[in-house]
Structure 1
Amino acid sequence: MLTGWKLQLSKLFVIPQRYVLGIMGFLAIVNAYTMRVTLSVAITEMVEPSNGTTHHDPNACSGSLSNSSTVTNPDKLYPWTSTQQGLILSSFYWGYVVTHIPGGMIAERFGGKYSLGLGILCTAIFTFVTPWVIYATDGHWGWVVVVRVIEGLGEGTTFPALNVLLAKWVPLHERSKIGTLVFAGSQIGTVLGNALSGALISATRDWASVFYVFGALAILWVFIWMVLCYPDPETHPFITDKEKEYLRKHIVNVTRKKRAAPWGAIFTSLPLWALIAAQIGHDWGFFTMVTDLPKYMKDVLKFNVAENGVWSSVPYIFMWLVSMGSGWVCDYLIKRQYMSVTLARKVFTSIASMGPAIFIIAASYSGCDRDLAVGMFTVAMSFMGTFYCGMKVNALDLAPNFAGTLMAIVNGIGAITGIIVPYLVGALTEDHTLLEWRTVFWIAFGVFALTNLIYVCLGSGEVQPWNQVEDCDQNEMEIKKNGKS
């Protein structure tokens, strides 16, 4: 009877379960990023307008007061300085970094389903209560930092858990495609977070609305996730036998045995450190854009909040389109053996590094031409879309048995830039001038170039010997046995 029940349930799903997991993983990152970036737009409407400065900016763009003033009730505005705003925006990553490695280890031991779901739920609840905390503390910026740190703690498990799930569900020849679908949720989340935040604040004339909406949507996702998705094909109650056999055949170098991570081999692996360098470069540029582009749009280009939300989101629409297309292209090139896995990862990562580096600088030299500046930012972020089929899935190539741990290390170290960048940008742009922002973009250019050079020289797409820890264990047993004899 139980087998018949499972068979009937499996017939309800036309889409294979690995694609269901991919779609739900995509939505997980969409929700994670809407909650992460919504503050970047909201904060432009939470702060008291500047009373002006004695600093003269000869490059200042013209804009009416109505374009740059807030739309929210003056009683809900707070006197946060530029540096304090930088600390608020960066504080999310203080918690985010901390839970990466524990999250990856927990996901590998107990499966990624629950570590991902509970992590998103934590972030969702604290996103939802953010306005209440701000009201209760009369807008004390320190308490906003505390809430954002807790949100980061919850979300730090997201990428390690998803990497564990992808390693167990996705064959090598579908890795770029499905991996890109999942990880490219960051662009759609950024688009929705920026565009809907601007529209919601403009419509409700209240910045608090965005926290309620995105927090509630993420809580809804958690309930659906818990019903539909499972840690691996073997434990899925209504996967078809055909798909289960297909995955058994095509998923290689992955064991269900629980093994301790070979930490010595991991931390002395040059391909891993090359991957960390590439992640640092990407995150530096990406967080510069995600966290601070709305401030640039308002302070320099003088967009109002509704325009800001829309135009800040445009670059990520094109980034998503490129990321999805490049995932298919990358898989095709590897499957047809036009490129090795290693060469493909390096080529697509280089495009995702140097393309944005060049066009972000070009945007800063567009001056007050708002259309040209948005166009340059859009081209820059479009190039960044090839990052996902480049180095983002590279941890799966190196050691699928430790996909969660590797993603935790790589993404966790890269996320430190999320702490540094918003604070640095706030400190460098106290006067909100175009020249100050140009310095910010030149720094991003240098980081992109250096980290990409390291990856090109030392990166790899080959499975590392220490992935097969059972072989190492067997060798050790043989040595001990021979020694005794």
Structure 2
Amino acid sequence: MKKIPTRFWIAVMVFFSTYINYTTRVNMSMSIVSMTKGKTKKTPECIILKQKEQGTHEDNPEDATQKPLPDYGERYDWDEHVQAQILGSYFWGYIVTSLPGGAASEWWGPRKVIFWTVLLTAIFNVSSVFAAWYHFALLIGCRFLVGLMAGFVYPALQVLIAKWAPPAEKGKFMACMMGNTLSTCITWPLVGSVTTAFGWDWGFYSISIQLVAFCAIFWFVAADSPDDHKFISEAEVAFIKEAQAGSVTKKKHRAPYAQILKNGPFWVLLLLHSCNLWGLYVQLQSVPKFMNEVVGFNMRDSGFLVALPHLSRLVFSFLYGYIGDWLNNKKVLSRKAVRKTFCVFSHIIPGILMASICLVGCNYIAIVALLVFSIAINGAVVLTTLSNPHDLAPNFVGSIFGINNLIGGMSGFIVPAITAVLVAEHNGTKEWGYTFILGGSVYIFGGVVFILFGSVEEQSWNRIADQ
């Protein structure tokens, strides 16, 4: 029986690293519903329009009564501003460590960085329960620390992939960074189930148990590079080194930030990365809010529809990874042609689909269909946004990805802020249409610029680590 290559298990660890990373990113949006007292809400615009058509609309759309809230533990009287701070505090920490996360992984090794940051995340996540009992400010502090630790993980994974992935398998390795999509599908129903059964505090405990279990397995399975792994065969080490053709070195060297920031292909990649995150934040944050507050369709109560876009993106990502590797290995398309061709799928088509949401009005079926296809097709980022740092400088891929996450991650604040301004006067389909048109335009702009000016050539400063 043929032995499974060690690098396969490294790819599995990459997948579950992104899965684990997202559990603490998305759990709070579910838990906070069970931790806070309910508020009355206005009837969504599309429901009002439907009522007017049926002749059942009343002049006062406010809900006069409120159903008793389930007993999931103590509930807090946090207003919308406080809840926004609690939800946003994770991202404050996340962007802070994106930049040092890459440098730390290149210097100390991705294995140690991922292990210790995930372990500390488990501790800070459990501490959130006790912090909430005392004051929301302490909870904000804990969420900030959770985000602070999480910011290290993605740059560290890029370093791990750079050390382990032969060029012919790069697409498959990159597809493994989509474990976050599965996490979104599983974490929300898991937190909802344990909250219903045991209370909202178990929504946090159940996540931390997963984090600790992951740490134990990761420490045993993973290694910084093939040379450092205890159980890998000499033949596999030689194969990986030969495939990488000397572009990746074990020597440690501080990232040449001055040369990176003066590099044209890097700035094109940064734009591509930032536009992708902008589009994703519109899809993942704004569309569900629009569906709930304007269309009157609560996606949180429709588990399958919540999971469908993310599951589709996961499946498409692996398909793209295999197709990209096949096209490159069979010399059907050059690496440059693969990157630029699939940019049409990762950015331009999702942008068109997103902008099209403004055309379907209150038709929630059409909105969900556009959302599903937009997110699924965007899975092509495994061959564009996520792979291009490895083309430019595999020795400093962590630092490059860290800079990209630092700048691009700011859209996590910018997108909700712009949306709030656009819908401040009236929360209707017309105003939300501007959000979708802007998001789609940003998507398309990033893709077009990369197709015209993007590069896949190894940059000269990548070899500075050999000097």
Fold shared per TM-score above 0.5: yes
Match of 1:361 in 2: 355
Match of 2:118 in 1: 120
Match of 1:146 in 2: 141
Selected match of 2:96 from 86, 95, 98: 98
Is 1:38 matched up with 2:36? no
Q: Name the CA shift for 1:197/1:59 in 2 (closer, same or farther; >3 Å).
A: same
CA distance in 2, matches of 1:282, 1:383: 12
What pairs with 1:325-344 in structure 2 (closer than 5 Å)?
Answer: 325-344=319-338
Is 1:155 matched up with 2:153? no
CA distance in 1, matches of 2:9, 2:78: 43
Q: Report if the CA contact (8 A) 1:168-1:232 is conserved.
A: yes
CA distance in 2, matches of 1:199, 1:455: 43
Aligned length: 454
**Deviation by residue 1:216-249 (Cα, 9 ceiling, x = unmatched):** 2112101111111111111111111221221122
What pairs with 1:388-407 in structure 2 (closer than 5 Å)?
Answer: 388-407=382-401
**Deviation by residue 1:35-93 (Cα, 9 ceiling, x = unmatched):** 1112233334444333345x994665779989x97954397444444454443333212
What pairs with 1:39-78 in structure 2 (closer than 5 Å)?
Answer: 39-52=28-41, 57=45, 60=48, 72-73=70-71, 76-78=74-76
Q: Report if the CA contact (8 A) 2:269-2:388 is conserved.
A: yes
CA distance in 2, matches of 1:446, 1:118: 40
Q: Name the CA shift for 1:73/1:445 in 2 (closer, same or farther; >3 Å).
A: same
Shift of 1:354: 2.0
CA distance in 2, matches of 1:449, 1:309: 30
Query: SS of the residue aligned with 1:30?
Result: helix
Q: Name the CA shift for 1:81/1:300 in 2 (closer, same or farther; >3 Å).
A: farther
Match of 1:177 in 2: 172
What pairs with 1:65-464 in structure 2 (closer than 5 Å)?
Answer: 72-73=70-71, 76-137=74-135, 140=136, 142-181=137-176, 183-201=177-195, 203-204=196-197, 206-252=199-245, 253-303=247-297, 307-426=301-420, 428-429=422-423, 433-464=428-459
Q: Report if the CA contact (8 A) 2:227-2:237 is conserved.
A: yes
Q: Report if the CA contact (8 A) 1:90-1:423 is conserved.
A: no
Q: Name the CA shift for 1:426/1:83 in 2 (closer, same or farther; >3 Å).
A: farther
Q: Which amino acid aligns with 1:445?
A: G
Aligned residues with identical type, % of pairs: 27
CA distance in 1, matches of 2:115, 2:179: 16
Q: Report if the CA contact (8 A) 1:334-1:340 is conserved.
A: yes
Q: Name the CA shift for 1:136/1:470 in 2 (closer, same or farther; >3 Å).
A: closer
Q: Report if the CA contact (8 A) 2:98-2:402 is conserved.
A: yes
CA distance in 2, matches of 1:153, 1:308: 32
CA distance in 1, matches of 2:279, 2:465: 39
Shift of 1:306: 5.7
Q: Which amino acid aligns with 2:406?
A: G
Query: SS of the residue aligned with 1:261?
Result: coil
Shift of 1:208: 3.6
Q: Which amino acid aligns with 2:451?
A: V
Q: Name the CA shift for 1:71/1:338 in 2 (closer, same or farther; >3 Å).
A: farther
Q: Which amino acid aligns with 1:262?
A: P
Q: Which amino acid aligns with 2:456?
A: G
Q: Name the CA shift for 1:59/1:223 in 2 (closer, same or farther; >3 Å).
A: same
Q: Report if the CA contact (8 A) 1:83-1:423 is conserved.
A: no
Q: Which amino acid aligns with 1:277?
A: L
CA distance in 1, matches of 2:318, 2:8: 15
Shift of 1:428: 4.8
Shift of 1:436: 4.2
Match of 2:54 in 1: none
Q: Report if the CA contact (8 A) 1:60-1:433 is conserved.
A: no
Q: Report if the CA contact (8 A) 1:38-1:193 is conserved.
A: yes
Match of 1:481 in 2: none
CA distance in 2, matches of 1:308, 1:39: 18
CA distance in 2, matches of 1:373, 1:194: 21
CA distance in 2, matches of 1:92, 1:28: 18
Query: SS of the residue aligned with 1:386?
Result: helix
Query: SS of the residue aligned with 1:468?
Result: helix
State the TM-score, normalizing by the size of structure 2. Answer: 0.88
Shift of 1:281: 0.8
Query: SS of the residue aligned with 1:463?
Result: coil
Q: Name the CA shift for 1:379/1:103 in 2 (closer, same or farther; >3 Å).
A: same
Is 1:28 matched up with 2:17? yes
**Deviation by residue 1:90-137 (Cα, 9 ceiling, x = unmatched):** 321211111122121111112100101112222222223323221222
Shift of 1:447: 1.7
CA distance in 1, matches of 2:358, 2:297: 16
Query: SS of the residue aligned with 1:184?
Result: helix
State the TM-score, normalizing by the size of structure 1. Answer: 0.85
CA distance in 2, matches of 1:69, 1:339: 60
CA distance in 2, matches of 1:83, 1:127: 22
Match of 1:4 in 2: none
Q: Report if the CA contact (8 A) 1:164-1:403 is conserved.
A: yes
Q: Which amino acid aligns with 2:308?
A: V
CA distance in 1, matches of 2:185, 2:420: 23
Q: Name the CA shift for 1:224/1:82 in 2 (closer, same or farther; >3 Å).
A: same
Shift of 1:395: 0.5
CA distance in 1, matches of 2:197, 2:50: 27
**Deviation by residue 1:284-337 (Cα, 9 ceiling, x = unmatched):** 121233344443443344455862444222101101111110111111111122
